[in-house]
Amino acid sequence: MIKTTNLTKKYGDFTALDNLNVEIKEGEILCLLGANGAGKSTTINLLLNFIAPTSGNAYINGLDVVKNPKKTKPYLTYIPENLMLYPTLTAIENLDYFLGIGGKSFSKAELKTFLEEAGLQQEAFNKRVQFFSKGMRQKVGIALAIAKGAKVLLLDEPTSGLDPKSSNEFGELLKRMKNAKVAILMATHDIFRAKEIGTHIGIMKQGVLKHYFRNDEITLQNLEKVYLETMTLNNTAV
């Protein structure tokens, strides 16, 4: 579903992403760990075609994102770190708008079921989004993915700033999405959550993917140890 081959992004002399090769299949969750500036968000922005790669390719559902900017979008849903919706519109209206401009229209009842599936409480459906917490806004984002039937979910630090309960809820939601055969890429700082929900885990540093594990290959303790080692070591070779 998601695939990158030798994906590289340079800003002048600075290499934000260096030869990334990953593949995420249906029903897989790749959690990318790494410090700020490690290249996690760059990867997501490249997959979204927000920025153009210096070299290499990114594919969504087998389509090159640079060559098919509009064709790849129906397959994916993106939830930025701080998902912002239109404050004066309600949850339903926001959902309707974002789906509508993309050419998908649904009845009100259908929109409600999407929000319900995403776990938003009933009372919030018709409330203006300006009063929503981050967790609630993210649920609207997930509802968007459900409604689109998105096969790809790109998440940028979704759990930062969430309280543990909301964070847990969000994890459960992602697991459900995974079971529904969605390929998920999630950039995060949260080692615990990554181990908890990821089918695969990557550790990035200075634009390079340093480690790549299957979830069952490593324990939480080892993962933390590897992470800290990677961060403190000064070597650039893998």
Partner 1 sequence: MFRYNFKYELKSLLRSRWLLLLSLLLLIVVLFAGYNGKEKVKERTQELKNVVLESNTNDAAMALVLDSIESGLQVSVNPRRMPNAPMNVAYNYPRVAAIPVAPLTFISTGQSDLFTHFIKPSAYGDSFSLDYSELANPIQLLFGSFDLSFVIIYILPLIIIAFSYNILSEEKEYGSLKLLASQPISIYQWIVQKTALRFFWLTLITLAVITITLLFFGFDFKTNFSAFLQLISLVCAYILFWFTIVLLVNLVVNNSAKNAVSLLAIWVFVILIIPAVVGQLANSFYPIPSRTKMITEVRELKEELSSKQDKILDNFLRDHPEYASKDGNSNYSFWHKYIASQELVEEELKPLISSYEDQLTKQQNWVRLWQYSSPAILMQQSFNNLAHTSTTHYQSYRNQVALFSKEWRNFFKPMLYGNKNFTTNDYKKLPSFTYEPPINSSVLLKVVVLLIFSVIFIFIGKQVFVKKIKKGTIIS
Helix, strand, or coil (residue 121): coil
What residues contact residue 5 under an 8 Å CB cut-off, 6+ apart? 21, 56, 57, 59
Q: CB of 52: closest distance to partner 1 in angstroms?
A: 6
Q: CB of 102: closest distance to partner 1 in angstroms?
A: 4
Q: CB of 230: closest distance to partner 1 in angstroms?
A: 26
Q: Which is nearer to partner 1, 48 or 197 (CB)?
A: 48
Q: Which is nearer to partner 1, 68 or 206 (CB)?
A: 68
Q: Which is nearer to partner 1, 128 or 211 (CB)?
A: 128
Q: Using an 8 Å Cβ cutoff, are 23 and 179 in contact?
A: no
Q: Which is nearer to partner 1, 27 or 80 (CB)?
A: 80
Helix, strand, or coil (residue 194): helix
Amino acid letter, residue 141: G
Q: Which is nearer to partner 1, 51 or 233 (CB)?
A: 51
CA 70 to chain centre: 19
Q: CB of 29: closest distance to partner 1 in angstroms?
A: 18
Q: CB of 162: closest distance to partner 1 in angstroms?
A: 16
Residue 179 has, within 13 A of its CA and on its CB side, a CA count of 7
CA 121 to chain centre: 23
Q: Which is nearer to partner 1, 31 or 83 (CB)?
A: 83
CA-nearest of 70, 81, 83, 73 to 141 is: 83
Where on the chain is the footprint of partner 1 (CB under 8 A)?
A: 45, 48, 50-52, 70-74, 76-80, 82-86, 88-89, 93, 96-98, 100-103, 105, 141, 144, 154
From residue 183, how far is each of 102, 105, 108, 176 by CA, in Å? 21, 24, 28, 12
Angle at 69 between CA 66 and CA 74, to 5 degrees: 135
Q: CB of 236: closest distance to partner 1 in angstroms?
A: 25
Ordered alpha helix ranges (H), 104-219:
108-117, 134-148, 164-179, 191-197
